[in-house]
Amino acid sequence: MEEKQNKNGKKFESKPRENRRPAREESEFDKKLVCVRRVTKVVKGGRTLRFSALVVVGDGKGKVGIGIGKAAEVPAAIDKATGEAKKNMKQIRIVEGTIPHEITGTYGSSNILMLPAKPGTGVIAGGSARAVLELAGVKDIVTKIHGSTNKINAVKATMNGLVALKTREEIAARRGKNPEEI
pLDDT of residue 8: 74
102 in the same domain as 165 = yes
> How many angstroms separate the CA atoms of 47 and 44, rounded?
8
Q: What's the domain count of the chain?
A: 2
75 in the same domain as 99 = no
Domain boundary, last residue among 87, 107, 133? 87
pLDDT of residue 2: 67
The CATH number of the domain holding residue 66 is 3.30.160.20
| Segments of the chain scoring below 50 in pLDDT | none
Alpha-carbon dihedral sign for residues 107, 113, 118, 121: negative
Say if residues 112 and 145 touch (Cβ distance below 8 Å).
yes
Q: What's the predicted TM-score (pTM) here?
A: 0.81
- By residue range, what is the domain housing residue 36? 30-87
> How many angstroms separate the CA atoms of 3 and 25, rounded?
28
With CA atoms as reference, report the closest residue to 91 among 130, 126, 131, 59: 59
Which residue spans within 44-96 are E strands per DSSP? 46-58, 63-71, 90-91
Q: pLDDT > 90: what percent of the chain?
A: 70
Helix (H) or strand (E) holding 146: strand 141-147
pLDDT of residue 127: 80
Domain boundary, last residue among 87, 116, 133? 87
70 in the same domain as 114 = no
The CATH number of the domain holding residue 106 is 3.30.230.10
In a domain, 101, yes or no: yes
pLDDT of residue 175: 87
C-alpha distances (whole Å) from 37 to each of 53, 62, 108, 151 are 6, 28, 19, 11
pLDDT of residue 169: 87
In a domain, 9, yes or no: no
pLDDT of residue 168: 86
